[in-house]
């Protein structure tokens, strides 16, 4: 690339708005301020890059800010003639994104931002630093944060583990390593508004949330992915094998846990949030899988994470969070009909009827509901025509199952005992 020494007018030292060394790391780069247009342009690049990127290829605004600032600074030493400082800095951002996504730089000599690559990237130079803070390393075990802080970390982790589903627990050494990394990040940023402990605890809270929900609140928080307990991935796989816990289900469960933690578990007295719990004997949807045993908030035996009452595995409350794929819908109409041997022998094969009307009349008679039911059976037939199911089988189902059938709402009201 035909760089050349920057002319004297382009040589600027330092910045009016940003501290020296603020581009040293992602943590320190969070405080960097650019014009609104530049911030927006960088944010757009982050979003575009992260849209379909795997975790290892995702980036953050803080990272691109650091690269941009380095590029803008390098412009003062040398740049291609005719380029502005902003163009030079943005070109470096583009080179970084290329390196991030392709595993190697487009221009072999571009190595100066390798320290900003995620630890999993083949060219990352951050790996060593991160590993030295692994939970069971000698360094980590030798660190002592002071009695109060040690106790506060331990209390935080114990409270989290008491609520965490099996497999999602976090060990104290892991929590201490995360705390330490948070405190070091504060040192790197040099901010004075929050204490080192504030940084450590904020990082620990973010980590615990990441383990519990499987994804970070802030998408750019990836620095502690190497510390996520292996058991958490296994537990999540188990959950997924039973059914998929979707993003909104996980968020709902998290929100319910947060509310229960803040205000106490839900009960059925006249105050607070009404649990709406029904025991197994009254749970009319247990058969299709809506029950405590399948709920992500069930904690075994008679315990629920958010309901104060003892629960039964086949009971349920109004908040049941059931993974996708666990609830079995009502049996398809064909299955219902297959289970009707009496009816099949009473009613002829469809092709043996001269007209649909004859079939509907037979079905009406068989239903035992009297001729008042005939319009309902005919309506079930028409409904099936409209939603592309088999009209003959649908009407048959109503004749046999009457108020238990899928079209029970069509029956005369007195037949449903209303
Ligand atoms: S269904 Fe309700 S009571 Fe049962 S485990 Fe889930 S949240 Fe708790």
In this predicted structure, which of 220-229, 327-336, 395-404 has the lowest mean pLDDT?
Answer: 327-336
Query: How far away, in angstroms, is 306 Cα from ligand 1 center?
Result: 7
Q: Which ligand 1 atom is nearest residue 277's CA?
A: 3
For residue 415, with 0-12 CB atoms within 10 Å meaning exposed, 13-18 middle and 19 or more buried, which class applies? middle
pLDDT tens per residue across span 270-329: 777 888 899 988 888 877 778 888 888 887 778 888 999 999 888 899 888 887 777 766
What is the pLDDT, as a whole number, of residue 194? 66
Query: How far away, in angstroms, is 320 Cα from ligand 1 center?
Result: 5
Domains in the chain and their CATH numbers?
4-123 (no CATH), 138-236 (no CATH), 264-329 (4.10.490), 333-416 (no CATH)
What is the pLDDT, as a whole number, of residue 270? 72
What is the pLDDT, as a whole number, of residue 339? 45
- C-alpha closest to that of 116 among 62, 77, 74: 62
Average the pLDDT over 100-127 and give the result: 83
**Is the per-residue pLDDT at 188 higher than 60?**
no
280's tokens: 């197994």
What residue owns the CA closest to ligand 1's atom 7? 320
* Average pLDDT along the chain: 78
Tell me which residues have their CB closer than 6 angstroms to ligand 1: 277, 292, 295, 297-298, 304, 306-307, 311, 316-317, 319-320
Mutate to test the pocket of ligand 1, among 298, 315, 326 (most ligand atoms within 8 A of CB): 298
pLDDT range class, residue 238, cuts 50, 70, 90: low
Average the pLDDT over 364-387 and give the result: 81
Classify each residue of 59-94 as buried b or exposed e, where b means 16 or more C-beta atoms within 10 Å of its C-beta.
Answer: bbbbbbbbbbbbbbbbbeeebeeeeebbebbbbbbe
What residue owns the CA closest to ligand 1's atom 2? 317
> What is the Cα 154 distance to its own chain's centre?
27
Whether 399 contacts 413, CB under 8 Å: no
Average the pLDDT over 90-101 and give the result: 94
Query: How far away, in angstroms, is 377 Cα from ligand 1 center?
Result: 39
Query: How far away, in angstroms, is 255 Cα from ligand 1 center?
Result: 14
Cα–Cα distance for residue pair 298/212, rounded to 1 Å: 15
**Is the per-residue pLDDT at 126 higher than 60?**
yes
Q: Which of the two residues, 153 and 209, has the higher pLDDT score? A: 153
pLDDT range class, residue 415, cuts 50, 70, 90: very low
**Is the per-residue pLDDT at 375 higher than 80?**
yes
Query: How far away, in angstroms, is 322 Cα from ligand 1 center?
Result: 9
Q: Which ligand 1 atom is nearest residue 291's CA?
A: 1
Q: Which ligand 1 atom is nearest residue 305's CA?
A: 8
What residue owns the CA closest to ligand 1's atom 4? 292
Query: How far away, in angstroms, is 298 Cα from ligand 1 center?
Result: 6
Query: In whole angstroms, how far apart are CA 83 and each of 33, 72, 102, 157, 205?
Result: 22, 11, 26, 53, 44
Query: How far away, in angstroms, is 271 Cα from ligand 1 center?
Result: 19
Cα–Cα distance for residue pair 229/194, rounded to 1 Å: 29
The structure's pTM equals 0.34
pLDDT tens per residue across span 38-78: 999 999 999 999 887 776 688 888 899 999 989 888 887 77
């Amino acid at each position: 690339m035909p760089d050349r020494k920057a002319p004297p007018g382009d040589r600027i030292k330092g910045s009016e708005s940003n501290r020296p060394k603020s581009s040293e790391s992602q943590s320190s780069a969070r405080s960097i301020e650019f014009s609104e247009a530049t911030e927006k342009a960088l944010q757009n690049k982050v979003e575009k890059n992260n849209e379909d990127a795997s975790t290892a290829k995702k980036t953050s605004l803080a990272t691109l800010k650091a690269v941009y600032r380095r590029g803008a600074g390098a412009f003062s030493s040398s740049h291609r003639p005719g380029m502005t400082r902003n163009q030079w800095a943005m070109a470096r951002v583009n080179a970084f994104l290329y390196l991030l996504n392709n595993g190697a730089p487009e221009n072999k000599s571009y190595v100066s931002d390798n320290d900003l690559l995620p630890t999993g990237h083949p060219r990352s130079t951050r790996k060593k630093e991160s590993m030295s803070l692994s939970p069971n390393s000698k360094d980590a075990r030798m660190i002592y944060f002071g009695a109060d802080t040690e106790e506060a970390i331990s209390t935080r982790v114990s409270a989290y583990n008491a609520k965490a589903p099996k497999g999602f627990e976090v060990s104290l050494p892991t929590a201490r390593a995360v705390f330490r990394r948070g405190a070091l990040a504060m040192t790197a940023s040099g901010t004075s508004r929050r204490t080192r402990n504030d940084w450590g605890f904020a990082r620990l809270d973010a980590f615990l949330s990441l383990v519990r929900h499987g994804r970070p609140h802030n998408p750019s928080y990836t620095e502690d992915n190497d510390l996520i307990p292996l058991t958490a991935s296994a537990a999540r796989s188990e959950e997924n094998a039973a059914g998929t816990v979707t993003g909104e289900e996980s968020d709902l469960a998290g929100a319910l846990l947060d509310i229960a933690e803040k205000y106490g578990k839900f009960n059925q007295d006249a105050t607070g949030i009404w649990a709406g719990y029904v025991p197994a004997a009254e749970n009319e949807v247990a058969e299709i899988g809506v029950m405590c045993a399948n709920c992500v908030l069930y904690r075994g035996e008679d315990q629920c994470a958010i309901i104060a009452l003892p629960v039964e595995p086949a009971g349920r409350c109004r908040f049941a969070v059931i993974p996708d794929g666990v609830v079995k819908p009502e049996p398809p109409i064909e299955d219902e009909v297959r289970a009707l041997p009496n009816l099949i022998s009473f009613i002829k094969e469809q092709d043996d009827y001269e007209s649909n009307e004859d079939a509907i009349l037979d079905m009406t008679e068989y239903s035992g509901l009297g001729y008042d039911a005939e319009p309902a059976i005919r309506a079930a037939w028409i409904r099936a025509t409209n939603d592309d199911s088999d009209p003959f089988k649908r009407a048959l189902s109503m004749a046999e199952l009457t108020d238990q059938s899928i079209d029970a709402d069509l029956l005369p009201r007195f037949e449903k005992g209303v």
